[in-house]
Amino acid sequence: MQLGLIGLGKMGANMRERLRRAGHEVVGYDRNPEVSDVTTLEALVAALEAPRVVWVMVPSGAPTRDTVAELGELLEPGDLVVDGGNSRFTDDFDNAKLLGDKEIGYVDCGVSGGIWGLANGYGLMVGGAQESVERAMPIFDALRPEGPREEGFVHAGEVGAGHYTKMVHNGIEYGLMQAYAEGYELLMRKDIVTDVPGAFKAWSRGTVVRSWLLDLMVEALEKNPGLDGVSDYTVDSGEGKWTVEEAIALEVPMPVISASLFARYASRQLASPTMQAVAALRGEFGGHEVMTIEEGNALRRGDEAMSPAQQAAAKGIVEKADAERPRDAQQAARAQTGTQTGTQTESQPSAAQQD
């Protein structure tokens, strides 16, 4: 089958190669002339025999909308456009109408698999008319993983359903990544656990938390067990936000995915206005010392507590840890303190504990 493919980045170039290996003729166009088969969109359309199928694989938003609009001026009635990028599902309604008015078909296709899709295949979630989906099925079959079609491909519904399903897929991905990451931090914090990478690797077979994402976490930890030098600044591509917005619109409780999205937002803050407000309020109602930003950063680095505010914070941390120890351990520590100093072994909670 012949296909025009627009967008030859990491995924697009690999998709072109996978399709060619399956025996399809692919004419690719990209703004980068070094990877493009033709020099313009006009040349791509001219190189394809009617009725044409053109796959758009460019960044979501304006780049995709503009490309679809341009194709609407170049293609002919009976041609078909597949949007395989990460467009918001609402864009599909407009794209389908624009092309439909010109009697050009439209299918939206959510694609999962990343840079490993060339070897492993891509998970495909499509929306559109049955006739249009069937027409592009040889392409879908070449791109999806080997095995039963239903284990790597779904015709999820009408126009927009493919990207909607992919949006929810990515929201779930956010939650899974956050859960693995939180488990990593807890294991790293506990002194009795000495092989955190080994723990993750042991989970990769036979456990209920095994997954491809876990396999990727294992690979990352094998390269860099402590994730040294890796910034915690974490971006998002939009699908997680759209998923949460849809949950609100449809009144679907979504605490895990929402929290994972908010954690990414928090990762981008040098200082949290929320926690600055909390610290200020503690100072007002309890008379607690309030640290400057630099004093707080110094404590995070493990520097010696020098200022009164730092010393108060450090003391509160110690007293909190003492309060949370098992009762027998507390009594032993207090007895030891009483023996050494002759002071009372029972004490009242500090202001830090009363917070």
* The one catalytic residue among 17, 70, 158, 173: 173
pLDDT at residue 132, rounded to an integer: 98
Rounded Cα distance between 324 and 135, Å, is 65
pTM (2 d.p.): 0.85
Collect all residues with Cβ–Cβ distance below 8 Å to 313 and sequence separation of at least 6: 289, 291, 299, 305
pLDDT at residue 349, rounded to an integer: 42
pLDDT at residue 315, rounded to an integer: 78
Kindly list the structural domains of the chain, giving each domain's residue range(s) and its CATH number in brackets, ordered by start: 2-159 (3.40.50.720), 167-267 (1.10.1040.10), 280-341 (no CATH)
Catalytic: 324? Answer: no
Block means of pLDDT (10 residues each) for the chain, 355 residues, are: 96 96 97 95 97 96 96 97 96 98 98 92 98 98 97 98 97 97 97 97 97 96 96 92 97 97 94 90 86 87 83 74 65 53 42 45
Helices (H), the chain: 10-21, 41-47, 62-74, 89-100, 117-120, 130-135, 137-143, 161-189, 196-202, 212-223, 239-249, 255-267, 273-286, 293-301, 308-324, 327-341, 351-354
pLDDT at residue 97, rounded to an integer: 98
Catalytic: 97? Answer: no
